[in-house]
Amino acid sequence: MKRIAVFTSGGDAPGMNACIRAVVRGAVYHGVEIFGIRRGYSGMINGDIFQMTSHSVSNIVQRGGTILKSARSREFMTSEGRKRAYDQLMNHGIEGLVAIGGNGTFTGALKFFEEFQIPTVGAPGTIDNDLYGTDNTIGYDTAVNTALEAIDKIRDTADSHDRIFFIEVMGRDSGYIAIQSGIAGGAEMVMVPEVLTPISEVVETLKQGWSRSKSSSIIVVAEGDEEGNAAEVAEKIRSQVGVDVDMRVTTLGHIQRGGIPTAYDRILASRLGLGALEGLLNGEKNVMAGIVNNELVYTPFVDTIKLPKPISEDLLRMVKILSV
Ligand code: F6P
């Protein structure tokens, strides 16, 4: 393989730039021509493809976001879109791809290989940490720390005003950010999409707290919780505890997607970027590079896409015990 391309796709994540840097510098080291594709599959379809050098990735290891930009492409979901993308890659003589993204990205890459035999190796880039085949995804650690900083600040005002705060963190289908930031922030409860926490249980916990003279509480809610988002959960609870209880809702939103990546994320991203590149050069295809128990492993896309990565029930149990 003499010419390959790298792109970022789906929701951006802090550390993606460190990962791009590792792919590009690794390619230069191995004497392979490296191209960047802007805006993921959209840019592939539109031919937004350019040659990169070692210099193209100078001074980006510490930057959040992605210098290659990112997008979620509807057109790539159609066979016409994928044919256009293939034609563009052929025009540039590109023989293999490194895709930095999540499940949607890898689903697209697999379909693309079935139709056009372009091999892809993935690097897991998403703040959600919802990919089977790696202990942590790029961006997750930074997002948890961003959420934690906000929770710590909200705790100050919650305590001053004797209020209950419902803090919504990201995670449409995943409670990883919620559980980690909740534990580190000393939350009274954490609500995640993977495990149903009925409203009655939240009310019960609040009442137990009041009986022990607890005057403020933090409840971290993942945006995709089964009982609804934080505003919906708060509304349901209000209907049971009455209007006298002082409650507020804060949605952290996209602040969790930006910012300077932590040292952990930069190192993880560097290992995964180089791992993905060297995997591709060694003939791996349709696999995701991951770090499991501190070892580099390659997991087939079919598994990363289909297999669940369950939240530890032990951690949820711990939240209950520690909030007493
Ligand atoms: O997949 C990462 C993520 O941040 C999710 O946690 C969230 O549900 C989603 O992306 C938001 O996507 P968008 O930025 O397209 O609204």
Q: What is the pLDDT of residues 68-86, one digit of tens each?
A: 999 999 999 999 999 999 9
pLDDT of residue 44: 98
Task: In whole angstroms, give the CA distance from residue 245 to residue 162.
Answer: 9
pLDDT of residue 152: 98
Q: Is the pLDDT of residue 324 over 90?
A: no
pLDDT of residue 79: 97
- Do the two domains 3-139+261-306 and 141-257 of this chain adopt the same fold? yes
**For 230-242, what is each residue's pLDDT tens digit?**
999 999 999 999 9
Closest Cα to atom 2 of ligand 1: 11
d(CA 71, ligand 1 centre) in Å: 11
Q: Is the pTM of this model over 0.75?
A: yes
Q: Which atom of ligand 1 approaches the CA of 177 most closely?
A: 6
The CATH H-level (homologous superfamily) assignment of domain 141-257 is Phosphofructokinase domain (3.40.50.460)
Q: Is CATH 1.10.1740.10 correct for 3-139+261-306?
A: no
- Of 170, 173, 252, the residue with max ligand 1 atoms within 8 A of its CB, to mutate for a pocket test, comes to 170
Task: In whole angstroms, give the CA distance from residue 35 to residue 39.
Answer: 13
pLDDT of residue 293: 98
Cβ atoms of residues 276 and 16 within 8 Å? no
Residues contacting 105, CB < 8 A, separation 6+? 9, 10, 40, 99, 122
Kindly list the protein residues whose Cβ atom lies closer than 6 A to any atom of ligand 1: 11, 102, 126-128, 170-172, 223, 257
Closest Cα to atom 11 of ligand 1: 11
Cβ atoms of residues 126 and 102 within 8 Å? yes
Q: Is the pLDDT of residue 216 over 90?
A: yes
Domain regions of the chain by residue span: 3-139+261-306, 141-257
pLDDT of residue 236: 97
Task: Give the active site residues.
Answer: 128
